[in-house]
Each structure stands twice: as structure tokens, then as C-alpha cells.
Structure 1
């Protein structure tokens, strides 16, 4: 019998790049196309809310931006659905099931894939333990450290809906169109994070205006944008790896939320604050990094349509219905 030929990719690599870029541009652009979502810098601060009206932390702006991001995320998912429909069964339910499956709407095979990223923050977690700031410790406050963080518009944006819409667009949608263009997984890990990193460069405009539109403000904006782009690109590479390894949106989403909560590690500040535990803090940081590297592959292993055989993705798209 002649060998079974894998289905032809419905997208070229150029089309994949253009679609991925259009997802990024539409996501960022939607934050400026909606009138109430645009930032304003000329009004005086509102002392009652302790926030500048029209700034990115203004609840009215946050609500408008989250609405725009939600609408854009749905459109991006619909774009993936259209490509899948052109290569699969004409039935709506059939194509929808496949679209959701390749977009990562499934539980990962192992819960450890959701716990792998926190290992990298073992040092900061230990410092929080020394400060008594972990849940259940004396310095932890439900009202201040939980309710005031998560049950505000800023917290909802930073730790809930912002990460969710970004992972849907920049992980699920971008990586799936790259896969439909036949792009290799290592190239996807390189391309997709760059799209994600560049999507954060627009924050430079906010920084430049907030600091007075001076030469120093421009310098600060450029440096901040370069750092944020580099950081989010590296972070995007890791979350792309998690998505490709697990075929699930949950591991990169939990990693995104956790990293947003923890922020950047501040080992120098922690050692100055707890000088007697300086050596222990350094040791815990190193152990966390070592465990992160050691568990990166085994904890993310599973039946992935992106990481398996070269035609595994296509068998899911045009083959039998996913289980």
C-alpha cells in the first residue's frame, strides 16, 4: 500500500506571518480605536480615586479596553475557525470542536505543567515567607493582599482578563496559524514571542506622556519599552513552549497570572532586608532555577498535537473527532 500523505497546509509561511501580525495589530489597535479606551494626559488628577482620569488605571478606561480586547480575541478565534473550516468538515459543530481543541480548550495531561513556572520564583517566594506575607502568615491580609488586589478593576485587568485575552490571542491563535502554515515548533517558539513582545512596545507612548513629554521622558520611554519588549519576548518563548508541549491554554495562562502577581525578582532588595539570610536566599534562588530547568521537559510531557509526530496536528484538524 502507498504511504498515507499528510494533508497539505492551508496556509503558506508568509500567510501565517501576516495573520499572526494582524492578530497582534488588531489586539493593540483596538485599545486605541475605541474612544473611551484612549488614554488622556491633560486632565488633573482625581483626588478621590487617586488616579488620573483617562490614564490606563482609570476604571472607565480599563472597562473600555477590556471590552475591546475581548471583542478582538473573539475575532481572532473566528479567524482561526475560518482557516480550519477550509481544511475540514463543513459541519459547524465539527469544525468548532476542532477549532477549540487546537486553541487549547482542554485540560493538560498533567497538573505539574501548571506548577512548573512557580519553581523559577522559589527565591522570591522564600523572601515572602521570611516577610510573613504568604497566605496564612501573620503579615498576610485577606482584605489588603487579596480583595484589594483581585477585586479591583486594575487587579482584574492585570491578573484575570488581561492575561486570559493575551494568551488566547498571542499563544492559542498565533501558534495555531503558524502550525497551519507548517512552521516547525522551534520556529514557532521564536516567532510567536517576538509578536507578543512587540505588542507591548506601545506602552512607551504612555510612559512618554506621563513623564511630561520631555527629552528625559523620551529616554525613559525608550529604555522602558526596550526592557519590556525583551522581557515579554523571553516570557512569551516560555509560555509558547508550555502551550506547544501540552496543547492546553491552562499552563501558559497560569504562568502568566503567576508572573504578573510576583513581578520581577528583587534579590538585592531581599538580601538587604534580610541580611542574616543572605546566603540562604541566594541558595534558594539557585535551587529554584535548577528545579525549573530540570522539570521543564518531564513536567510538560503529554499527548500534544503540536509536539508529537509531524502530521499529528493535521490528523486533529482533518481526521477523526478529538476525544
Structure 2
């Protein structure tokens, strides 16, 4: 059974939803600064302390969703953990397909990396299956932050907890583009640290922050789309980790590459295939009953946009 009972989908509901999301975002970012230190953010000691902070906030974040349900009076037959994307139905496709789709989008950068990589395919497989390689990874604080802790905690807080609160207010489409604003703004705290440690000129720091806000907002909209279409958290987490590893596409270096024409062809091919495959590979039919659909009125246009 789908549908929402209770609550008023007007200014009251939207006000509570936005306030809860804003408080949650501020709590996540604020937790990074509870420790007093004079070290840069990439120092292992700073990273370890911030692990503790964000893991505590992330573990408490479901309470915001519970509070939101109480304040709005919204009742749904979807369990809380299911609304947050923790469920087994469709888990295999939710693990593989969104990550594969993201790799298609990054086909150009992946080809560029393969051209520049000193290893051949067999050597790469040997490294990937070597336990010593993974031991080095898990003992590297930067790797743990970028590939594990940041993707897991940020997707849990900014997607799994915020989207269920925004969807009944704005609908699924606007929620996809509203949620990343909290995510993008949350990354502005990097400006404070860069200014504090004089890592660049003021103008370059703010230009970098504006670019990062734009990039994280677009990326956040994409993972929000994945979360709503699949009803799983695992897909956004894996896509986030993959994108952190690849980084922003090195387009300018591709233009100067000896095999520029081939690389650019794969850049365009990847983008074209991505848009062709976006909806088929995120078809809700592949992922079972989508829990967020229980927050929408059955039969409405918003319900049909993500639930059928």
C-alpha cells in the first residue's frame, strides 16, 4: 500500500522539512570543528578526530527523520530503515547498475587513465587482488576518508535522511535539486580552512569554492536521482566513492594528450551512452518496491515519475 497519511503539504510541512534538513547539515559540518587544533584538514590526527565526529552525527541522523515524522504527523507503512535505503530487495542490481552507469559517464577519463597507467591489465588485476594493497589502503587515513567514510556518511545524511523529508513537501523532481543545495553549502567550510592556512589567494580560494559548490550540487542531484529511483543507499555510496577516486575529469590535459582524438571520442561516447542508459538502468522495476513512493499520493504525477 502506498500513500501518506497526516501532515499538511503546505508551508507547515515544508518549513519543518527545510528546518530539519538545515539543522542536520549544520550538525554534520559543525561536528568537524568541535576539535581545537592548528593542523590542516589532511593531517592524519585531524582526519581521525573528524571520523569520530561525523560517525556520531551520522549514527544520530535517523533521529532527525523520526522527529520530522512526529512534527509533521506523516504516517507511512514503510519502515524507517527502508525509507533510508537499507533493504535487501533489489540489492544486487542496486549495487551493480548505478556504479556501472557512473563508469559509463566517466568512460573518457577511464580511457585516459588506462593510457597513462604504467601497468597492463594483468598487472592491474594482480594488484587489485593483492591483500597487501588493500591493507595499505585501509591504513591510509586519506584513502579511508575519501573512499569510505565521506561517501558513507555524506550519502546517509544528505540523501538517505534528507530526501524522505523533502519529497512530501516539494515532490520528487524538486527534491532532487533542492537536496544538493544543502550538500553544496556544506562544502563551503573548506574556504575557512584554506583562508586560515593561507593555502592560496583569497580570489582563487573563492573561485575554487564556487566551482566546488557547482560540481557537488550537480553530483548531489545525480546521487539523489539514483537514491529515489532505486530506493537503495548502496548505489549512491559506491558512485560517490568512485567519483572521489576519479576526481573531476582532466579535460585540459586530455586536449594536450598524444592520443587526444581517441580520448575525446570516448568522452563524448560516455556522455551519450550515459543519457541513453540513465532511465533504463534506473528503472524502479529493477529494484522492487521503492520505499519513498509510500510518501507520495498514489496515482499522482509525482508518484508515477519515480514509482512506475
- For Structure 1 versus Structure 2, the TM-score category normalised by the shorter chain is 0.7 to 0.9
Equivalence for 1:316: none
Looking at structure 2, the residues matched to 25 and 250 of structure 1 have their Cα atoms a distance apart, in angstroms, of 24
For the structure 1 residues 301 and 288, does the alpha-carbon distance in structure 2 shift closer, same or farther, using more than 3 Å as the test?
A: same
1:73–1:169 contact (8 Å) kept in structure 2:
yes
Shift of 1:202: 0.7
What is residue 291 of structure 2 aligned with on the other side?
A: 305
- In the alignment, the residues of structure 1 paired with residue 149 and residue 124 of structure 2 have an alpha-carbon distance, to the nearest angstrom, of 28
Q: Who wins on radius of gyration, i.e. which is larger?
A: 1
Give the CA deviation at 1:119.
Answer: 0.9
Is 1:155 aligned to residue 139 of structure 2?
no
Residue 174 and residue 6 in structure 1: after superposition, are their counterparts in 2 closer, same or farther (change >3 A)?
closer
2:159–2:179 Cα contact (<8 Å) kept: yes
> Going by fraction, where is helix more abundant, 1 or 2?
2
Paired residue secondary structure (2:169): coil
TM-score, length of structure 1 as denominator length: 0.78
Structure 2 segments unaligned to the other structure (5+ residues): 299-308
Question: CA offsets per residue over residues 66-96 of structure 1, 9 Å max, x none?
Answer: 110011112221221344466559xxxxx9x
Superposition deviation, residue 271 in structure 1: 4.2
Q: RMSD between aligned alpha carbons? A: 2.9
What is residue 68 of structure 1 aligned with on the other side? 53
Match of 2:98 among 113, 131, 136: 113
TM-fit CA distance, 1:151: 3.2
Q: Which has the higher contact order (CA 8 A, sep 6+)?
A: 2
**Ranges in structure 1 where 5+ consecutive residues have no aligned partner:** 41-53, 90-94, 313-323
| Residue correspondence of structure 1 range 71-82 to structure 2 within 5 A | 71-82=56-67
Alignment of 1:207-226 (within 5 A): 207-211=194-198, 217-226=201-210
| CA–CA separation in structure 1 for the residues paired with 2:121 and 2:87 | 32
**Mapping 1:6-21, distance limit 5 Å:** 6-9=4-7, 12-21=13-22
Q: Is the 8 A contact 1:189 1:237 kept in 2?
A: yes
Alignment of 1:171-320 (within 5 A): 171-179=159-167, 181-211=168-198, 217-273=201-257, 275=258, 277-302=259-284, 303-306=289-292, 310-311=296-297
CA pair 101-6 structure 1, distance change in 2 beyond 3 A: closer
Under a length normalisation based on structure 2, what TM-score does the superposition of the two structures give? 0.82
